[in-house]
């Protein structure tokens, strides 16, 4: 990686980068381990969707209050507390793996997924909010791109195949490593020395949330970015929720093979994080966003038609590259445009819009498979959702072409 020296000489950035890399190794392992554990408990698409739904429901329930909390509490302490909580809760999942009751296991796994998701809401919202306190504004695009490259390469290239390997040895191992990653990340974040920001006015919680909502609504470009991001997350969740069943029952792969498929996306994400800033400088932010949505849609169509695991890996490569291209435009644009004292709340409102729909995508995935399965073969039922969401994403690309262009702001 070749970046501005000022970025890598920044002690705070090195610490937050290391914490991100380590915790995302655990996240990449969890990406395979949790859905795989769910399929060992039940093969019902609705059960698999229910666990995914529970893990993302906190983004709908807690995203808005998380912004108020972020703007009122020490960012560093909040991130450390969330990581320690996730470490302890993941150890409880290890106990579940050993115990594995004959009934209610899906409910217990879903409950753990919900609590982990709640901690993730606080941690991730705070992580985006604290970054401008750690690096200069001129370094934000490169800092975000570098962080996302680490997330993709380590979280999606190293983590998933490692999870498959660990599952093949012993099912509890990936969860143990996940817990350790959270604990180490907490220790690194504790060493941060962020710059102070103006204190948020201590208005009542509902008034404070309204301030973030009003600001976002009035900034039309950022509001439209939030809406399209939400649609992309919604359709992406439909696809990823049933991908574990698609891989097992259509492609016939095991845990290691599924991990390797997931790792292909990391290559696209790594390249997206590294190359996106240069590409955006050449073609402009508006065209970068249009290309990103198109790539996301093409990904879905390729998966739906895939007959070999390599095609699914290639599709994930394209989709993740598009996703990183989108984020490298949208997130720094929001960080630069938002007043520092409002950033936590604006981030939370943005994420409420863009992530709050994810639980619905998870449930819709199970419902679609069940619904198509009544009238078609099981294989067609697993393929059909990818064509449906692929078509919808092409409609979203048309909207982005005419209505979303940060270059005009």
Give the pLDDT mean for 209-221: 84
Position 201 pLDDT exceeds 60: no
Distance, in Å, from the CA atom of 134 to the CA atom of 18, rounded to the nearest integer, reads 14
Indicate the length of the chain as a whole number: 409
Domain ranges of the chain: 5-408
- What pLDDT, on the 0 to 100 scale, is given for residue 250? 94
- What pLDDT, on the 0 to 100 scale, is given for residue 63? 73
Please tell me which residue, 276 or 193, carries the higher pLDDT value: 193
- What pLDDT, on the 0 to 100 scale, is given for residue 368? 94
- What pLDDT, on the 0 to 100 scale, is given for residue 202? 55
**Per the structure block, which two tokens stand in for 184?**
């180490």
**Per the structure block, which two tokens stand in for 189?**
């974040």
**Per the structure block, which two tokens stand in for 375?**
């009238």
pLDDT in tens, 290-326: 999 999 999 999 999 999 999 999 999 999 889 888 8
Q: How confident is the model at residue 90 (pLDDT cuts 50, 70, 90)?
A: very high
> pLDDT over 90 for what percent of the chain?
34
Alpha carbon 327 to its chain's center: 11
- What pLDDT, on the 0 to 100 scale, is given for residue 25? 85
Q: For the whole model, what pTM was predicted? A: 0.75
- What pLDDT, on the 0 to 100 scale, is given for residue 152? 64
Kindly list the distances between the CA atom of residue 330 and the CA atoms of 29, 235, 272, 295, 317, in Å, as whole numbers in the listed order: 27, 18, 14, 16, 20
- What pLDDT, on the 0 to 100 scale, is given for residue 297? 94
Distance, in Å, from the CA atom of 26 to the CA atom of 39, rounded to the nearest integer, reads 20
Please tell me which residue, 3 or 199, carries the higher pLDDT value: 199
Position 203 pLDDT exceeds 60: no
Position 1 pLDDT exceeds 60: no
Q: Locate tokens 């449906």: which residue?
A: 388
∠ CA 378-36-267, rounded to 5°? 95
Please tell me which residue, 68 or 333, carries the higher pLDDT value: 333
- What pLDDT, on the 0 to 100 scale, is given for residue 155? 72
| Winning range, highest mean pLDDT, from 67-81, 155-169, 370-384 | 370-384
- What pLDDT, on the 0 to 100 scale, is given for residue 254? 87
Distance, in Å, from the CA atom of 16 to the CA atom of 39, rounded to the nearest integer, reads 34
Contact 118, 62 (CB under 8 A): yes
Please tell me which residue, 201 or 34, carries the higher pLDDT value: 34
Name the H helices within 242-308: 243-246, 255-283, 285-305
pLDDT in tens, 8-31: 888 888 998 899 888 878 877 887
Give the pLDDT mean for 98-118: 87
- What pLDDT, on the 0 to 100 scale, is given for residue 344? 72
Position 385 pLDDT exceeds 60: yes
Q: How confident is the model at residue 246 (pLDDT cuts 50, 70, 90)?
A: very high
Please tell me which residue, 266 or 357, carries the higher pLDDT value: 357
pLDDT in tens, 348-369: 788 788 888 888 999 999 999 9
- What pLDDT, on the 0 to 100 scale, is given for residue 296? 93
Give me the chain's average pLDDT, please: 85
**Fold exhibited by the domain 5-408:** Growth Hormone; Chain: A; (1.20.1250)
Position 198 pLDDT exceeds 70: no
Q: How confident is the model at residue 238 (pLDDT cuts 50, 70, 90)?
A: very high
Please tell me which residue, 97 or 196, carries the higher pLDDT value: 97
Give 9's DSSP letter.
Answer: T
């Amino acid at each position: 990686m070749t970046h501005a020296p000022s970025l890598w000489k920044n002690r705070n950035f090195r610490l937050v980068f290391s914490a991100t890399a380590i915790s995302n190794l655990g996240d990449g392992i969890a990406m395979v381990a949790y859905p795989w554990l769910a399929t060992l408990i039940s093969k019902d698409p609705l059960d698999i969707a229910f666990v995914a739904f529970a893990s993302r429901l906190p983004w709908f329930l807690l995203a808005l209050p998380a912004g108020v909390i972020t703007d009122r509490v020490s960012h560093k302490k909040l991130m450390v507390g969330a990581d320690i909580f996730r470490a302890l809760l993941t150890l409880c999942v290890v106990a579940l793996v050993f115990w594995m009751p004959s009934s209610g296991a899906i409910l217990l796994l879903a409950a753990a997924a919900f609590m982990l998701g709640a901690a993730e809401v606080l941690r991730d919202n705070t992580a985006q909010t604290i970054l401008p306190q750690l690096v200069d504004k001129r370094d934000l695009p490169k800092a975000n791109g570098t962080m996302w490259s680490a997330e993709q390469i380590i979280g999606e290239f190293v983590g998933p195949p490692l999870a498959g390997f660990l599952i093949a040895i012993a099912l509890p191992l990936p969860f143990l490593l996940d817990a350790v990653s959270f604990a180490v990340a907490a220790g690194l974040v504790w060493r941060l020395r962020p710059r102070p920001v103006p204190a948020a006015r201590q208005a009542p919680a509902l008034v404070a949330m309204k301030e973030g909502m009003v600001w976002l609504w009035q900034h039309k470009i950022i509001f439209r970015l939030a809406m399209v991001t939400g649609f992309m997350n919604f359709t992406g969740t439909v696809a990823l929720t049933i991908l574990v069943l698609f891989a097992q029952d259509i492609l016939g792969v095991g845990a290691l093979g599924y991990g390797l498929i997931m790792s292909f996306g990391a290559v696209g994400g790594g390249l997206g994080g590294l190359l996106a800033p240069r590409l955006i400088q050449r073609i402009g932010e508006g065209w970068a966003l249009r290309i990103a949505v198109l790539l996301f849609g093409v990904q879905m169509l390729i998966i739906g038609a895939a007959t070999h695991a390599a095609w699914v890996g290639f599709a994930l490569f394209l989709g993740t590259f598009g996703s990183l291209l989108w984020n490298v435009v949208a997130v720094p644009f929001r960080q630069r445009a938002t007043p520092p004292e409002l950033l936590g709340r604006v981030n939370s409102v943005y994420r409420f819009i863009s992530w709050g729909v994810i639980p619905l995508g998870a449930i819709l995935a199970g419902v679609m498979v069940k619904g198509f399965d009544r009238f078609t073969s099981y294989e067609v039922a697993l393929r059909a959702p990818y064509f449906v969401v692929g078509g919808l994403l092409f409609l979203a690309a048309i909207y982005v072409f005419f209505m979303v262009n940060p270059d005009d702001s």
